[in-house]
Structure 1
Amino acid sequence: MAIKSLQRLTMTGAILAALTACQSSEKAEDASQAEAASTPQPSQASAVEWPRIESEVAKDPAVEERVEQLLAKMTLEEKVGQMIQPEIRHLTPEDVTKYHIGSVLNGGGSFPNADKYAKVEDWLALADAYYEASVDTSGGRAAIPIMWGTDAVHGVGNVIGATLFPHNIGLGATHNPELLKQIGWATARELSVTGIDWDFSPTVAVARNERWGRTYESWAEGPEIVGDYAGEMVRGLQGEPGSDEFMGEGRIIATAKHFIGDGGTKDGIDRGDTTGDEVHLRDVHGAGYFTAIEAGVQAVMASFTRWDGIRMHGHKYLLTDVLKEQMGFDGLVVGDWSGHSFVKGCTATNCPASVNAGLDIFMAPDPDWKELFANTVQNVKDGEIAMSRIDDAVRRILRVKVRAGLFEAGKPSSRPLAGKAELLGAPEHREIARQAVRESLVMLKNTDGLLPLSRDMKVLVTGDGADNIGKQAGGWSISWQGTGNKNSDFPGAQSVYDGIKEAVEAGGGNTELSEDGSFASKPDVAIVVFGEDPYAEMQGDVPHLAYGRGDTSDLEMLKSLQEQDIPVVSLFITGRPLWVNRELNASDAFVVIWQPGTEGGGVADVIFRNNAGEINHDMSGQLSFSWPKRPDQVPLNVGDEDYDPLFAYGFGLTYADTDTLGDNLSEEGLKKTETSDVLTLFNRRPIDPWGIEVVGAENDRVVMDSKSVSTSTVTVTAVDRNEQEDARQAVWNGKGPGHVALFVDERQDWSEYLADQAALIFDIKVDKAPTATTYLRLGCGSYCASDIEMTEGMREHLDGTGWQTVSIDLNCFPTAGANFGLSQPQEEFITQVIRPFTIYTEGELDMSFANVRLEKHKAASALVNCQNQ
């Protein structure tokens, strides 16, 4: 590794002294959870009446008798095993037999043999192994088939070649409930190919704050569309109740999630506190559950959120009194990713409170799930959980399995659609998805009727989303966050550019593709495809609704094209309404294409005329979320007392409409969002424009765009701290130098932060202290850097102490390196920041980091303080 002109500032003593006062950042979290969870449970005699839902899947005496017969034969250990759901990375077939495991899941980005490119045969082989282990009767154990659940939230996102439909926010804009039933049918068929029999879908959240990173998983900001859609999606997945198709060939178990209020958290913070009283909870957030239960949904997933100060995984009133008793839900309640560990008094491995509250299945994705099994068995023996509650949970699980026909279905590879790889991305499924794309497009602007375009034109297609299927697919696409994919990972799919090229060439025109807006010959029109990069839960939360958050490259491209007298059509990829006034002003036409999935050709179907010059498909999409006038205009929901959107709920131009928007929308709203005292570099994920680079001893550099990456000397993996994959673990193997860094392509100007006495703050956990000198480095590129030695601080005060928060006065850095105030003024360097957080060592080290940020006015109170130097 070539390191030039580095001077070391050794501050071991300062760090040692400072770290003695360092407190675990987990303690504050635990305290806040305990305080919130200490609120008494609501009274069962609540004045709010919830509807009694009559499920179209009525209780069958024959099913109930069979369930009771099975239950009577089961030991306590067998019953508890049915209530534990490990993740495939931590479950062997031998474990299934030994612990009587009743269900298994694969998380987003988790595959058989940890192989992203696992084939259908690999999925089936693992499914068969689990199944055969579950029905092993040796030793007199009960033969109860295992279920396998997965998050197929917009198609089968974990399997290469599957059809991916537009995310829910786009489907909401179609206002077409029947389409949801068809999507459910197609998804169930493709999932059945792999042998998986349980879908953690549909998400029936009513998203009330677009800062929430799961907004795109919601159909609408109000309950009407959600209520209309939920039941239809369930019917598509499970089949029509009362008919032969119910849980028949190519049908799977559906799950309504996340009960309840997941879309209504304060400030849109994922897993936060749901706002509103019980009437609001029922009338707004309950709509999807009412129709899903009516359609016979067999599973409900508990939410991570709190309501009335109580975590939903421990909310007996809502899970038992409301859902199971008042509403009459007789299926099973499954937890979310170790969600029980957030309940007061609970850990990931011990949580009787969740079972007592009404949770039937623990989702236990961590390696220590066996401790949860053992502790739950002991909880029953100690009387902390009544046997009647265990029997109720297992009765519900068995009822779902019997209704789903799992006892008769045989091993997964023997089922009717198993192994039929030709059904993945089947033409009839892709056509449903393409129709969904066409109907989801919402046109916000169309100056002088620019759209639809003629096909015989010279068309420039540009923008980083033009030929990027991963970007247009969004989160939950092969990987959990939808990152780290390339077009070849989506065989059979069409990018937006592919669809445009096909349409234009069929009409006698020609296309030119460029990402940066350049062209060989001047086009008749430029189509710019840009927008949000993929993200999923937690990592998609944002502080405000301004698009770009400091990156103006898309805007500059739009303006450049217009300045060259080229008409500009903007196709905006997004998972939520965003403040795009500047981009709207710089566009002649502006169409929101949401996250269309694998069938990008549906966009061209609408924005181009047919070969005869007639309208091919009209613009028909209408907003199911209100569009903001300002980046801080959130929450913004139809019916609000001060409702004043830029585009109202239900807005969407057709080709018959006259556009009067103009090019003079206010661009002033951004100033407030850009003057922040906190610059977040990493919070659950690198925050745009920051990324993570890993460099090894052989100068082998990898940019982290998947769950785990490795170089010759360093491996970095996304790990769970407080939430799923919200931290990164870095392990050096000691075979040479290496570093892990947060980096950005364009140099950043931090002079404002230096002037305002900022500190670099981060959370860190050291599991193995460094065996060689280790530095925290801030740099402006390969030729300049400033190092603070962390070796002794890590060894003496961080090793084995759990999570700690470290803060370092920014002034401590620019006095150290060759380009920091020695050969150059401090201010000159601080305008060239590229790698503000780098851990470098040549020895062995195992450490994790999270929540990296720069905060103004924190220098004086920083643990490492250089104010007097």
Structure 2
Amino acid sequence: MNRNQVINGLTPRQFTQPLSTLSLAVLLSITGCSESAHVEQAPNTPTVAVEDSVAKSGIDLWPALTPAIAKDAALEAKIAALVASMTVEQKVAQMIQPEIRDITVEDMRKYGFGSYLNGGGAYPNNDKHATPADWIALAETLYQASVDDSVDGINIPTMWGTDAVHGHNNVIGATLFPHNIGLGAANNPKLIEQIAAITAKEVMVTGIDWVFAPTVAVVQDDRWGRSYEGYSEDPTIVRDYSFAIVEGLQGAVSGDFLSDQRVLSTVKHFLGDGGTEKGIDQGDNIASEQTLVDVHAQGYVGGLNAGAQSVMASFNSWHGVKNHGNKYLLTDVLKDRMGFDGFVVGDWNGHGQIPGCTNESCAQAANAGLDIFMVPTAAWKPLFENTVAQVNSGEISQARLDDAVSRILRVKFRAGLFDKPSPANRPLSGKTELIGHASHREVARQAVRESLVLLKNNQNLLPLSPKLTVLVAGDAADNIGKQSGGWTITWQGTDNKNADFPGATSIYAGIEQVVKQAGGQALLSPTGELSAQQKPDVAIVVFGEEPYAEGNGDIDNLEYQRGDKRDLALLKQLKAQGIPVVSVFISGRPMWVNAEFNASDAFVAAWLPGSEGQGIADVLFTDAQGKVQHDFVGKLSFSWPATPQQATVNVPLQSASAEQKAQYQPLIPFGYGLDYQSDMSKALVLDNLSEDNLAAEQTITDLALFERAVKSPWSMYIATREERQGLSSSVAKNSALTIRTMDRVVQEDARFVSFNGSEQGVVGLISNFPRDFRAYSNSDSALSLSIKSSALMQKPLWLGMACEGDCRKQVDIAQQVNSKLGEWQALSFSLACFADEPMDFGKITMPFYLATDAKVDISFSDVVIQAQPSENTITCKK
């Protein structure tokens, strides 16, 4: 595309957005222009302000917040003096945040990084079972290297950030609280503050200073794989919780703010990550600016009012502009209008996703307002060197560099890092008895109880007597990893065993304890199979989603166990035996489970309860005397879908029109939840629900993978049998091939690949996360492309797709390509060609690749998944 066709990554198509959705201020920021306005400081705005949008536009829509912490003139002078004494290299080092797997102690001593992190599933010494002492030792060693001025000439203390998102979840034995979606159902900000304070203590035991929480995404599309990280679809709950968790982590501004019992918090991800199109992780949010304020920004209103000191930029885009490079949002809105004087940290190489940037170089992000580059992998070193060069050349101004470093130092001074003892010598450090302390687990157990939502209770089956013979079935019944979900020890929450959770309790173990103490009997059988002599009075079936994190959890509709209804079969099997069934559903989002509702006498949404599974037994059972000990108090903080396709049903804001409110028709509304006092004559009837998944009515359209350019979230790669590399320039090569852009119809809309025949070469498309293609594979869809060959092929040319776990299927298309040598031709292959085992269309990582060991030149373009294939589509019938 020519320079005059694109302005900072915004294509002409994106300029067609109406001004009601893309404000003048945004356009001016995108195009490098500016507008100046005097902004009066208004009182803090702790409510969802739905004001007259006719009278306001652009920056005036945003709340003008008074900073929670007043500027301290003496502190600002100290910061200015320190910044003035620093070299460019020392300043840039404050902006670089590498990961513990990618740096050495000597690197820290030489460069003096301002901060570092451990990603999900990263541990000291790469040991999943690292002890708290191991965590402390690493924190101490890197801290001492950071303040050693023998190499870099400066002794600014570094700080360690970690994803403690439902407790200190990377550490073996830590207390694991319910994930945010469950806490939202509890709707108890005081409890949230207590949970955050406990998390802060357990984090500080390991010598860590900083937590990447809370997530304040207001989830609007439940297909999103991070839905469980959101408290609610309602911005009011998110706003109030954000305030509570920031105070719990950092302490109250008027109290023990950032004392030796507190850690830094991070409100994330700025902005609109919960509202991307089709719920695609790291996708595009096309909401109007008013909606961005009223819905997606409210968590920042709460968090900033509580004194949050860091904000994390989001991977997603807003109207096609990546947030990591959006000056309007990061600087004009967040820093200037909303008064945020802490620092903005990036997300995992998020700067590298900005058009024109790579992980190793991105002046655009710094100029937009990013203060800290989160740069895991070895990319940190070239990023450091390139950023220094960009400052020296003036591409990044000295003023912008000084502003970023001043913000980082301001937070470090406020946190007392210059005065506190080193990590190993802080008051809570090494107090390992606090990790998973009984009092902490009791709060988590309370959180489990309050997060449960009772959706169905026919004939008042619940509460149960603990004196009964109780069958506990389902593969989640005795599985602490599954009940805890993603971000649990490992990043995805997978590959964990019950032994990895010392001190924790599975749901079955909690039930067994209650029943056994009362003289009843608990029978564990995940498959529901029992001997002829065992006849239970009731069955509790615990089932649900497998753990996932981030994009791995993205799905294309909300049908539970689509194509593999094994849990439904278990429910029906028990019902057929005349056994009353209580379903306990483990999930990171509401899902379409009409058939499972029909097959259950009682149904409990348990979300992802964490390590204290006995909290479920506390509510399901009375005591031995038949007295209710704990009633249900949870209410849906997400609307429950009426169809698999109803992924965007959200409770309307108070400002919504009558028409919008009339269109709100979920199966179960926001705020619903029964208790033991409920008048069951007024309860929703969740029997005889339609089990039609409306597959025939599901509208799918062509999915462009590479059309003029590679389409998000895909990226192009080349590979041999030994290695794979992503493409970051118009020309690339490896030992098997050379690839370059070429012009077919418009500029750079095709790729030319010269395979040298020495070994098998591959070119294709890949995503960081698996994508759900089942809507296409279940219909008559096809993979199509335009292709041209320079010579007759005597060896196979493989066209393939691959799914998570390196499963793949491919077909030889050499015969079709040979039929029109030297000419462009359109080829289309039914997805059925790729459907044999072990292909899993629910987890596609590579939707297209070409591979050959022939010596040949191949050109290709227009790679599309066709919803309605052409008449010439090849079906690959056996």
When normalised by structure 2's length, the TM-score is 0.77
Q: C-alpha distance in 2, partners of 1:773/1:121?
A: 56
- What is the aligned partner in structure 2 of residue 270 from structure 1? 281
| Aligned pairs for 1:605-754 within 5 A | 605-639=618-652, 640-641=660-661, 642-659=663-680, 660=683, 661-672=685-696
Q: C-alpha distance in 1, partners of 2:603/2:287?
A: 35
Q: C-alpha distance in 1, partners of 2:779/2:62?
A: 56
Q: C-alpha distance in 2, partners of 1:180/1:542?
A: 29
The amino acid of 2:589's aligned partner reads R
2:311 aligned to which of 277, 285, 300: 300
- What is the aligned partner in structure 2 of residue 406 from structure 1? 417
| Aligned pairs for 1:368-407 within 5 A | 368-407=379-418
**Residues 83, 514 of structure 1: alpha-carbon distance in 2 compared, 3 angstrom cutoff:** same
Deviates more, 1:46-55 or 1:350-359: 46-55
Q: C-alpha distance in 2, partners of 1:345/1:33?
A: 14
**Residues 247, 721 of structure 1: alpha-carbon distance in 2 compared, 3 angstrom cutoff:** farther
Q: C-alpha distance in 2, partners of 1:315/1:679?
A: 27
Q: Can you list the C-alpha shifts for 1:369-402, whole angstroms capped at 9, x where unaligned?
A: 1111111111111111110110000000001111
CA deviation after TM superposition for structure 1 residue 308, in Å: 3.4
**Residues 652, 778 of structure 1: alpha-carbon distance in 2 compared, 3 angstrom cutoff:** closer
- What is the aligned partner in structure 2 of residue 736 from structure 1? none
The amino acid of 2:281's aligned partner reads D
Q: Is the 8 A contact 2:9 2:355 kept in 1?
A: no
1:130 aligned to which of 142, 146, 167: 142
1:326 aligned to which of 322, 327, 337: 337
Q: C-alpha distance in 2, partners of 1:835/1:346?
A: 33
| Aligned pairs for 1:546-625 within 5 A | 546-625=559-638
2:541 aligned to which of 520, 524, 528: 528
| Aligned pairs for 1:156-167 within 5 A | 156-167=168-179
Q: Can you list the C-alpha shifts for 1:387-422, whole angstroms capped at 9, x where unaligned?
A: 011000000000111111111223211111112222
Q: C-alpha distance in 2, partners of 1:832/1:320?
A: 50
Q: Is the 8 A contact 1:41 1:310 kept in 2?
A: no
**Residues 618, 77 of structure 1: alpha-carbon distance in 2 compared, 3 angstrom cutoff:** same
Q: Provide the secondary structure at the position in 2 that maps to 1:545.
A: coil
CA deviation after TM superposition for structure 1 residue 808, in Å: 8.7
**Residues 41, 811 of structure 1: alpha-carbon distance in 2 compared, 3 angstrom cutoff:** closer
Q: Provide the secondary structure at the position in 2 that maps to 1:664.
A: coil
The amino acid of 1:535's aligned partner reads Y
**Residues 424, 448 of structure 1: alpha-carbon distance in 2 compared, 3 angstrom cutoff:** same
Q: C-alpha distance in 2, partners of 1:538/1:516?
A: 30
Q: Is the 8 A contact 2:809 2:836 kept in 1?
A: no
2:89 aligned to which of 77, 91, 94: 77
TM-align CA RMSD: 4.1
Q: Can you list the C-alpha shifts for 1:228-284, whole angstroms capped at 9, x where unaligned?
A: 1111101110112132x2211231100000111111112211111223222211121
Q: Is the 8 A contact 1:160 1:478 kept in 2?
A: yes
Q: C-alpha distance in 1, partners of 2:134/2:872?
A: 55
Q: Provide the secondary structure at the position in 2 that maps to 1:89.
A: coil
- What is the aligned partner in structure 1 of residue 118 from structure 2? 106
**Residues 807, 563 of structure 1: alpha-carbon distance in 2 compared, 3 angstrom cutoff:** farther
Residues 1:215 and 2:227 aligned together: yes
Residues 1:444 and 2:455 aligned together: yes
**Residues 460, 760 of structure 1: alpha-carbon distance in 2 compared, 3 angstrom cutoff:** farther
Q: Is the 8 A contact 1:809 1:860 kept in 2?
A: no
- What is the aligned partner in structure 2 of residue 247 from structure 1? 258
**Residues 868, 535 of structure 1: alpha-carbon distance in 2 compared, 3 angstrom cutoff:** closer
Q: Can you list the C-alpha shifts for 1:476-503, whole angstroms capped at 9, x where unaligned?
A: 0011111111111111101110111111
The amino acid of 1:71's aligned partner reads V
The amino acid of 2:612's aligned partner reads E
The amino acid of 1:327's aligned partner reads M
- What is the aligned partner in structure 1 of residue 551 from structure 2? 538
- What is the aligned partner in structure 2 of residue 355 from structure 1? 366
CA deviation after TM superposition for structure 1 residue 858, in Å: 5.8
Q: Is the 8 A contact 2:581 2:600 kept in 1?
A: yes
When normalised by structure 1's length, the TM-score is 0.78
**Residues 835, 522 of structure 1: alpha-carbon distance in 2 compared, 3 angstrom cutoff:** same
Q: Can you list the C-alpha shifts for 1:421-453, whole angstroms capped at 9, x where unaligned?
A: 221111111111100000010000000100000
CA deviation after TM superposition for structure 1 residue 786, in Å: 9.5
Deviates more, 1:582-591 or 1:61-70: 61-70
**Residues 560, 82 of structure 1: alpha-carbon distance in 2 compared, 3 angstrom cutoff:** same
Q: C-alpha distance in 1, partners of 2:347/2:779?
A: 44
CA deviation after TM superposition for structure 1 residue 665, in Å: 1.3
Q: Is the 8 A contact 1:811 1:867 kept in 2?
A: no
Q: C-alpha distance in 2, partners of 1:489/1:786?
A: 36
Q: When the two structures are aligned, how many residues end up with a matched partner? A: 740
Q: Is the 8 A contact 1:212 1:540 kept in 2?
A: yes
Residues 1:176 and 2:188 aligned together: yes
Q: Is the 8 A contact 2:478 2:508 kept in 1?
A: yes
**Residues 567, 63 of structure 1: alpha-carbon distance in 2 compared, 3 angstrom cutoff:** same
Q: Provide the secondary structure at the position in 2 that maps to 1:145.
A: coil
Aligned-pair identity in percent equals: 51
Q: Provide the secondary structure at the position in 1 that maps to 2:491.
A: coil
Q: Provide the secondary structure at the position in 2 that maps to 1:212.
A: coil
Q: C-alpha distance in 2, partners of 1:458/1:363?
A: 54
Q: Can you list the C-alpha shifts for 1:93-145, whole angstroms capped at 9, x where unaligned?
A: 11122222111011111111211111112211211121111101115611001
Q: C-alpha distance in 2, partners of 1:535/1:778?
A: 22
1:507 aligned to which of 495, 499, 518: 518
- What is the aligned partner in structure 2 of residue 516 from structure 1? 527
CA deviation after TM superposition for structure 1 residue 528, in Å: 0.3
Deviates more, 1:623-632 or 1:43-52: 43-52
Q: Is the 8 A contact 2:90 2:152 kept in 1?
A: no
Q: Is the 8 A contact 2:636 2:671 kept in 1?
A: yes
Q: Is the 8 A contact 2:10 2:321 kept in 1?
A: no
Q: C-alpha distance in 2, partners of 1:183/1:291?
A: 17
Q: Provide the secondary structure at the position in 2 that maps to 1:378.
A: helix
Q: Provide the secondary structure at the position in 2 that maps to 1:605.
A: helix
Q: Provide the secondary structure at the position in 2 that maps to 1:559.
A: helix
Q: C-alpha distance in 1, partners of 2:632/2:477?
A: 20
Structure 2: runs of 5 or more not aligned: 1-5, 16-25, 38-57, 653-659, 705-720, 729-773, 786-794, 803-807, 815-825, 854-862
The amino acid of 1:110's aligned partner reads A
**Residues 853, 118 of structure 1: alpha-carbon distance in 2 compared, 3 angstrom cutoff:** farther
**Residues 514, 678 of structure 1: alpha-carbon distance in 2 compared, 3 angstrom cutoff:** farther
Q: Provide the secondary structure at the position in 2 that maps to 1:41.
A: helix
Q: C-alpha distance in 2, partners of 1:350/1:528?
A: 52
1:224 aligned to which of 224, 228, 236: 236
**Residues 35, 194 of structure 1: alpha-carbon distance in 2 compared, 3 angstrom cutoff:** farther
Q: C-alpha distance in 1, partners of 2:99/2:152?
A: 26
**Residues 510, 721 of structure 1: alpha-carbon distance in 2 compared, 3 angstrom cutoff:** farther
The amino acid of 1:630's aligned partner reads T
Q: Provide the secondary structure at the position in 2 that maps to 1:459.
A: strand
Q: C-alpha distance in 2, partners of 1:473/1:129?
A: 32
Deviates more, 1:419-428 or 1:445-454: 419-428
The amino acid of 1:84's aligned partner reads I
Deviates more, 1:368-377 or 1:37-46: 37-46
Q: Is the 8 A contact 2:147 2:154 kept in 1?
A: yes
- What is the aligned partner in structure 1 of residue 464 from structure 2? 453
Q: C-alpha distance in 2, partners of 1:429/1:253?
A: 20
**Residues 277, 776 of structure 1: alpha-carbon distance in 2 compared, 3 angstrom cutoff:** closer
Q: Is the 8 A contact 2:232 2:638 kept in 1?
A: yes
- What is the aligned partner in structure 2 of residue 93 from structure 1? 105
**Residues 456, 101 of structure 1: alpha-carbon distance in 2 compared, 3 angstrom cutoff:** same
